[in-house]
């Protein structure tokens, strides 16, 4: 068994789509970033790469590479999973935390966990995802951006 942790944060940027956990969410403001800025999947990819001894997301998908401009993080996650499988690992489970005041995560939880589970090649029951707030404290509390944490467990095949 190999455990991995990931964290990411992106700031809100007007005129951008909001994509979280592979799901586009109707919102007035999205997150800024080179790719689609899916902060949840970015944290998850870093956890997977860390557990697999495969480096990190910045090494794999450099943010100065035009190939990844507005890239779908779900597609990047598929690429990460190819590397994880090549290294001889399968995902046992993943647990994700999204920290923001807005939007509410629960209405989208089933769709997000479904997409993430499908990308990871596991049952949706092995993907945990919850939203929480910081009760108005810090940058998520002030509505400046969204932060996400991920923990994954890999098993040697
Ligand atoms: Mg990121």
Per residue in 52-77, pLDDT (tens digit) is 999 999 999 988 888 888 889 999 99
The pLDDT of 131-154, averaged and rounded, is 97
Query: Could you tell me which residues are beta bridge partners of residue 85?
Result: none
The H or E element that residue 59 is part of is helix 57-60
- Per-residue pLDDT at 69: 86
End-to-end CA distance of the chain: 10
41: nearest Cα among 17, 25, 57, 28: 57
Please report which confidence band the pLDDT of residue 5 belongs to, taking 50, 70 and 90 as the band edges.
Answer: very high
Question: How much distance in Å is there from the Cα of 40 to the middle of ligand 1?
Answer: 8
Q: Where are the beta strands (DSSP E) in the chain?
A: 2-14, 18-20, 23-25, 29-31, 89-99, 127-132, 145-156
CA distance 113 to 77: 14
Question: How much distance in Å is there from the Cα of 87 to the middle of ligand 1?
Answer: 24
Question: How much distance in Å is there from the Cα of 55 to the middle of ligand 1?
Answer: 15
Identify whether the C-beta of residue 90 lies closer than 8 Å to the C-beta of residue 155: yes
- Per-residue pLDDT at 99: 98
For the cut 90, the answer to whether the pLDDT of residue 18 exceeds it is yes
Question: How much distance in Å is there from the Cα of 122 to the middle of ligand 1?
Answer: 23
Question: How much distance in Å is there from the Cα of 2 to the middle of ligand 1?
Answer: 23
Q: What is the pLDDT of residues 78-132, one digit of tens each?
A: 999 999 999 999 999 999 999 999 999 999 999 999 999 999 999 999 999 999 9
Question: How much distance in Å is there from the Cα of 88 to the middle of ligand 1?
Answer: 26
Is the overall model pTM greater than 0.85, yes or no?
Answer: yes
């Amino acid at each position: 068994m190999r455990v991995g942790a990931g964290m990411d944060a992106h700031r809100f940027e007007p005129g951008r789509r909001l994509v979280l956990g592979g799901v586009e969410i109707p919102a007035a403001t999205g997150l800024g970033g080179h790719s689609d800025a899916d902060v949840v999947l970015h944290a998850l990819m870093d956890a997977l790469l860390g557990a697999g001894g495969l480096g990190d997301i910045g090494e794999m998908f450099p943010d100065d590479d035009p190939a990844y401009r507005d890239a779908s993080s779900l597609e990047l996650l598929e690429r990460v999973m190819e590397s994880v499988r090549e290294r001889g690992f399968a995902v046992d489970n993943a647990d994700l935390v999204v920290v923001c005041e807005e939007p509410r995560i629960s209405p989208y939880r089933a769709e997000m966990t479904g997409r993430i589970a499908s990308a990871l090649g596991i049952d949706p029951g092995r993907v945990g995802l919850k939203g929480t707030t910081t009760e108005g404290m810090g940058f998520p509390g002030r509505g400046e951006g969204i932060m996400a944490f991920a923990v994954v467990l890999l098993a040697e095949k």
